[in-house]
Structure 1
Amino acid sequence: MEPEPLPSPIVLVLASGRGERFAASGGTVHKLSALLHGLPVLEHTLAAVRASGLPWHLEDVGHPGMGDSIAAAVRATANAPGWLVLPGDLPLVQPRTLRRMAAALYGCAVAVPEYRGERGHPVAFSAQCLPGLLALAGEQGAASVVREQQQQGRVRLVEVDDEGTVTDVDTVQDLARAEQVLAGRLTLP
């Protein structure tokens, strides 16, 4: 008899931001609605999440800051065994990376993806991080929770081969770069 699989953490797709940097860089629509290869940025992110097969929650109610968004999403899914925090503006993240980060969470409190030495998203949090995540507020994300767990030796860095973990769309220039990366992926044999 095979062991029962461990319950999967929930992917929290954060889509509550105001997108002010995108507008300041010349964007005429909200960054998550900007078209990337014919589809809105957020739709690319959600397609990857759906393809991962992991449970997910979209947090798209306006919140004053990233910390507020994370806390609200965690509150809405408080019974989860853990969470993968994924900003909606990472349209190139790959489904296999989401699954890998979910698997990496077992045996640690926090798992952080690294692409060529650069930390990215989704950052995975176990249920033991619930109080810290619920306490988040304001502009800062969950860096304080990561630091707290790191001080206790409970953070795992996970090397990933996925440029999408560090390719967010904050400006129209970022959108153009994402378009180039995506076009390169689509032309690979």
Structure 2
Amino acid sequence: MHLIPPTVLILASGRGERFKASGGSVHKLQALLAGKPVLQHTLDAVRASGLPWHVEDVGHPGMGDSIAAAVRHTVSAAGWLVLPGDLPLVQPATLQAMAQVLLDRRAVVAWPELAGERGHPVAFGRDCLPDLLALQGEKGAAPVVRKWAEQGRGLAVPVHDEGVVTDIDTVDALARAEALWRQRHAAG
């Protein structure tokens, strides 16, 4: 029996205000990283993972609203990997590993961890559907993660992918991501 993988929800509807306040002249998802927009790097990683995906790029009041809307658009999915569009260095293998945690049913909620720091994408099983659909406001899915983790159905997945914690919120963060990108590609 072939299991259907979860769908990657790429969140691309934020306003990017911190990036602009830090001196950015364009929206952070359109800022260039190694000559290509940040969002394009994220989409390339998702496509390379082979997982189904959905981009949520309609303006919403907060991250919770964006996640709920994306889940509504993919309500029949086997589960969801919530990935902010400003994580251009996330590796396709990490996306596949997070999907596999849900497929193995080792958890209802799982998050990647790099050296003790929680990252994205956060993986949610079908059991989370009502909670995800009810999200609103700025907090994102943190309450859902907390609920399921407190029930012993959450799992931290150790990864060796700095891309899970390298989000582009400021011009300085973009410069750090560019340096990491150069290191990664110089190493081959």
* SS in structure 2 of the partner of residue 86 of structure 1: strand
* SS in structure 1 of the partner of residue 160 of structure 2: coil
Report how far residue 95 of structure 1 moved.
0.2
How many residues are paired up?
186
Identity %: 68
Matched, 1:176 2:175: yes
Report how far residue 151 of structure 1 moved.
1.3
The amino acid that maps onto 2:70 is A
* SS in structure 1 of the partner of residue 99 of structure 2: helix
Matched, 1:146 2:141: no
Aligned to 2:48: 51
Matched, 1:104 2:101: yes
Report how far residue 56 of structure 1 moved.
0.2
The amino acid that maps onto 1:140 is K
Report how far residue 173 of structure 1 moved.
0.2
Aligned to 2:80: 83
Distance 2:93 2:114 in 1: 14
Matched, 1:68 2:65: yes
Q: TM-score, normalised by structure 2?
A: 0.98
Aligned to 2:33: 36
The amino acid that maps onto 2:53 is W
The amino acid that maps onto 1:154 is R
Distance 1:151 1:121 in 2: 19
The amino acid that maps onto 2:44 is A
- 5+ residue gaps, structure 2, are none
1:64-111, Cα deviation, whole Å (9 max, x unpaired): 100000000000000111000000000000000000000012321101
The amino acid that maps onto 1:110 is V
Report how far residue 5 of structure 1 moved.
2.2
* SS in structure 1 of the partner of residue 8 of structure 2: strand
Report how far residue 61 of structure 1 moved.
0.4
- 5+ residue gaps, structure 1, are none
The amino acid that maps onto 1:134 is L
Report how far residue 156 of structure 1 moved.
1.0
Aligned to 2:163: 164
The amino acid that maps onto 2:85 is G
Distance 2:25 2:123 in 1: 33
Q: TM-score, normalised by structure 1?
A: 0.97
Runs (4+) off by over 2 Å: none
Distance 2:3 2:157 in 1: 19
Structure 1 stretch 126-135 or stretch 100-109: which is displaced more? 100-109
Aligned to 1:116: 115
* SS in structure 2 of the partner of residue 114 of structure 1: strand
